[in-house]
Copies of this chain bind each other. A is one copy, B any other.
Amino acid sequence: MNALKFSIEKELEGRLGRAGILETPHGIINTPAFVAVGTKAAVKALTPEQVRSVGAEVVLANTYHLYLEPGAERVKSFGGLHKFMNWSGPIMTDSGGFQVFSLGSAYGKQVSKIARPQENYIPDESIIGNLAKVDEGGVIFKSHLDGSLHYITPEKSIEIQHNLGADIIFAFDECTSPTADFSYQQVAMERTHLWAERSLNHHHALIRENKRIDGVALFGIVQGGREESLRKRSAEFISKLGFDGFGIGGSFAKEDMETVVKWVNEILPKEKPRHLLGIGEPEDLFMGVENGVDLFDCVAPTRNGRGGTLYTSLGKVNIRNAKFRDDEGPIDKKCGCPVCSTPSVEQPPYSRAYLCHLYRAHEMLGGTLGSMHNLYFIINLVKRMRESILENTFLEFKQKFLKVYHS
């Protein structure tokens, strides 16, 4: 009943990095891979064909957002996310744990704690300053849609995710702020560990109950902030619970990320896949791949794409800038995406000038083409890292790429 098969094709000499193949019920993911983010069961501004055309092998949807709208049971009644959103490839769902941070402490100054849960829990309606409150039992969210209150527990998160029907799901965790102090990080980590066990138990219970043999894989999430002792304890604890793979969570200060990833991946069992959650800038992708990360996701390519910030081999550009109004060239001459390259003689690449015009004229097509380009750029960059591992040229590739990228 193991839903996933993960095989390592090649390892990076003297490093933790590796190239592998992850087999899911809906197809193969060649790792390391960048996962396209489709928060609300849609990669923003793109059709599934366009997502496929930029090389995406897997999509990540968001548990909390889909629970609120259209509702997980509704998605289940449609045969699950794959059918609902017309994406036949592998799908992941995060657990909603990140929203503890994004709707909680990232909304106000700090995640405010409330009293321990009682038997018949009644959510406190006085959420002020942010939209999430954590206690030992779970998290109360105040819906950003209609202000209604929702108590999400590890069991509830797993149940929602089973209903959504992704191939890979995540344990419910508490993603803390990088500004949280040691003692809060410790409390949050202990809670995350407790929730990991509860998530796993409920996952197994649901599989038994529904006699599922098609397989859904559950990844546990390592937390612990920027603290070495906590991260190592968390990696050790989560490793031993029997998850199918691992997420590395947390909201990092940029300078902490490499050490954290190293501490964790030196401990996690190497035969299982690892996902660095919510990270996607080129330099961080190189760091992650070098240090043994197999999967990444991030909203940056599509968010930047909609805003007009486009990735190129020479760094990011703001395509709205007036200097591009007369620029006949493609976004990036070295890019092979459907926006920069020439699929046919009839269809030349889109010029920077045209894209500049679309953004300045507030045409949605700009966001679509920009997202396609950015997503291809990042997905393809990780694919090239994979190839360079297979060809023993990773470190040269990294050095060469980043030198030009930051020039």
Q: Give every chain B residue within 8 A of A361 (Cβ-Cβ).
A: 40, 42, 65, 69-70
Q: Is there contact, CB below 8 Å, between A347 and B77?
A: no
Contact of A325 among B48, B70, B85, B358 (CB under 8 A): B70
What copy number does this chain have within its complex? 2
Asked if A255 lies at the interface with its beta carbon under 8 angstroms from chain B, I say no
Stretch at the interface among A117-125, A185-193, A363-371: A363-371
The bracket for how many chain A residues form the interface is: 35 or more
Contact of A45 among B69, B325, B368 (CB under 8 A): B368
- Docked complex Cα distance between A84 and B326 (Å): 11
- Docked complex Cα distance between A152 and B326 (Å): 24
Q: Give every chain B residue within 8 A of A369 (Cβ-Cβ).
A: 47
Asked if A201 lies at the interface with its beta carbon under 8 angstroms from chain B, I say no
Asked if A86 lies at the interface with its beta carbon under 8 angstroms from chain B, I say yes
* Given A74-B325, A74-B326, A357-B70, A86 and B363 contact (CB-CB distance below 8 Å): no
Min CB distance, A27 to chain B, in Å?
Answer: 11
- Docked complex Cα distance between A369 and B346 (Å): 24
Q: Give every chain B residue within 8 A of A354 (Cβ-Cβ).
A: 41, 78, 84-86
Q: Is there contact, CB below 8 Å, between A365 and B69?
A: no
Asked if A403 lies at the interface with its beta carbon under 8 angstroms from chain B, I say no
Q: Give every chain B residue within 8 A of A350 (Cβ-Cβ).
A: 86
Q: Is there contact, CB below 8 Å, between A346 and B88?
A: yes
Q: Please list the residues of chain A having a beta carbon within 8 angstroms of any beta carbon in chain B.
A: 40-49, 65, 69-70, 74, 77-78, 83-86, 88, 306, 325-326, 328, 346-348, 350-351, 353-354, 356-358, 360-361, 363-365, 367-369
